Structures are given as structure tokens and as C-alpha cells.
């Protein structure tokens, strides 16, 4: 009965086709439910900042900066030691059902002298553990896109035109990154500034994406190239 009850909840709010593995025991299920309850209680701390969390689940050590610039949808899950910073011209938004893996950083800006643009994640986006998402030039990820561990996005590049000046003093060139809906980006994929990845794409593990990838493509390599269409 316990499995049936929770299956109905998960199907209603997250995954219509969800079904527990037959080998999941009642003890395993109760342990999982207790963990989620603790994470939900952690999410209630946002009430102290005049934010009303809507089924927000927080792991241990989650940190927020510039919370007024952060918008969270329903059923958002943030893993252990995730960092979210909304400092920027636009906002950091996570759609309904988003999941950010443990030890990941989702940061719009890292400097106060040149604010970044925004980070927008659509509904049911899932980001793997140890990932790094920057929003300096603007980052948009479409609904239902998922990534593996150590995924990184860099919407800016350091300038190095002047050999007489340290690179760190030459500023950056910023360009937006756009990743479409229903994509799968494998572990350790890196996406550089100015890249657009279309809808329904698969990017192989370890790939470095330096150029646009059209819709319905499979791309792999360093630099990534399209090997076939879906």
C-alpha cells in the first residue's frame, strides 16, 4: 500500500510513468521518505527570507546568495552543498521539477564590476553532480534536458589580445549559451560561449562544444562534431 501511495504522488507531480523497482523494500522506501522529509523541512528556511517555498527539497549545506534575484518552481531538489547566486542583471530561475546535483554551482555573476545576464532553467531540467553553470553572457536550458556529472557552461571567454597586459586585466568577451529542450549531455561535457544546442540533441561524454549543434543531432568529440541525426 505504501508503494502504491507514493507511486501515485510521483506520477501526479513528476513522472507519469514512474514505477518502483520490485526489489524496493518497505524499509528502503521509508528511509527514502524520511530523507526527503528532512530535505523538505530544510527548504522551509526560505520563509525566514519572505520566500514561500513550494515543495522545495534542500540537501546539506545548500547556500543562496542574492535570494531576491532567484525564482524557484515547484518540486525543486537541490543536492548537498549546492551554491545558487542570483547576482546579475536578470534572474536565476529554476522551473518546476528541476534537480541540481550535489556540489554544483549555479552562479549568474562572479564580479561586482560587470554583472552577468541571467540563468533560466526550464521545467524538469536535471543537472549532474559537481557541475558549474555560469550566466555572465546569459544561459538558457530548455525543459526536460538532463546532464551527467561535471557538466560545465561558460558564456564568456577571457580576452588575451594585448601581450603587454596580464590576461586577468583584459576583461572578457560574453556571448549567450542556449541549450534546447529534451537534450542529454553526458558526463564532463563543456559548452563554450556563443553556442546554441538545438532541441532533442545528445552530446557524448567528455565533449567540448565550441560550435552550434542543430536540432535532433548526436555530437561527440573535442571539438564536438555531429556524427548522425536522431
Average pLDDT over residues 193-216: 98
Cell, residue 23: 526489489
- pLDDT value at position 50? 62
Contact 144, 182 (CB under 8 A): yes
Placement of cell 530523507 in the chain: 35
Omega of the bond leading into 223 within 30 degrees of 0 (cis): yes
CATH classification of 2-9+26-229 is 2.160.10.10, yes or no?
yes
Cα separation of 175 and 108, whole Å? 13
Backbone angles phi, psi at 95, to 5 degrees: -75, 180
Band the pLDDT of 18: cuts 50, 70, 90: confident
Summarize pLDDT for 93-144 with one digit per residue, the tens: 999 999 999 999 999 998 888 899 999 999 999 999 999 999 999 999 999 9
pLDDT in tens, 44-96: 888 776 677 788 999 999 999 999 999 999 999 999 999 999 999 999 999 99
Q: Please give the share of the chain, as a percent, with pLDDT higher than 70.
A: 98
Longest CA–CA span in the chain (Å) reads 71
**For the chain, which residues make up each domain, given as ranges?**
2-9+26-229
Average pLDDT over residues 26-47: 83
State the pLDDT at residue 185.
Answer: 98
- Given pLDDT bands bounded at 50, 70 and 90, which one contains residue 171? confident
Mean pLDDT of 194-214: 98
Answer yes or no: 158 catalytic. Answer: yes
Amino acid at each position: 500500500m505504501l508503494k502504491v501511495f507514493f507511486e501515485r504522488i510521483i506520477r501526479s507531480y513528476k513522472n507519469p510513468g514512474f514505477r518502483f523497482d520490485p526489489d524496493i523494500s518497505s524499509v528502503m522506501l521509508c528511509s527514502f521518505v524520511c530523507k526527503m522529509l528532512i530535505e523538505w523541512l530544510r527548504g522551509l528556511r526560505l520563509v525566514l527570507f519572505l520566500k514561500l517555498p513550494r515543495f522545495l527539497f534542500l540537501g546539506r549545506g545548500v547556500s543562496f546568495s542574492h535570494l531576491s534575484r532567484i525564482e524557484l518552481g515547484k518540486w525543486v531538489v537541490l543536492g548537498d552543498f549546492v551554491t545558487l547566486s542570483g547576482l546579475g542583471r536578470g534572474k536565476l530561475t529554476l522551473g518546476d521539477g528541476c534537480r541540481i546535483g550535489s556540489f554544483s554551482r549555479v552562479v549568474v555573476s562572479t564580479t561586482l564590476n560587470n554583472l552577468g545576464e541571467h540563468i533560466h532553467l526550464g521545467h524538469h531540467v536535471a543537472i549532474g553532480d559537481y557541475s558549474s553553470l555560469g550566466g555572465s553572457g546569459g544561459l538558457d536550458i530548455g525543459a526536460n534536458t538532463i546532464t551527467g556529472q561535471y557538466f560545465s557552461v561558460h558564456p564568456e571567454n577571457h580576452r588575451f589580445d594585448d601581450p603587454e597586459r596580464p590576461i586577468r586585466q583584459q576583461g572578457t568577451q560574453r556571448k549567450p549559451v542556449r541549450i534546447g529542450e529534451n537534450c542529454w549531455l553526458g558526463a564532463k561535457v563543456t559548452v563554450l560561449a556563443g553556442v546554441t544546442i538545438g532541441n532533442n540533441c545528445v552530446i557524448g561524454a567528455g565533449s567540448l562544444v565550441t560550435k552550434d549543434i542543430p536540432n535532433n543531432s548526436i555530437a561527440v568529440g573535442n571539438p564536438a562534431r555531429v556524427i548522425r541525426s536522431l
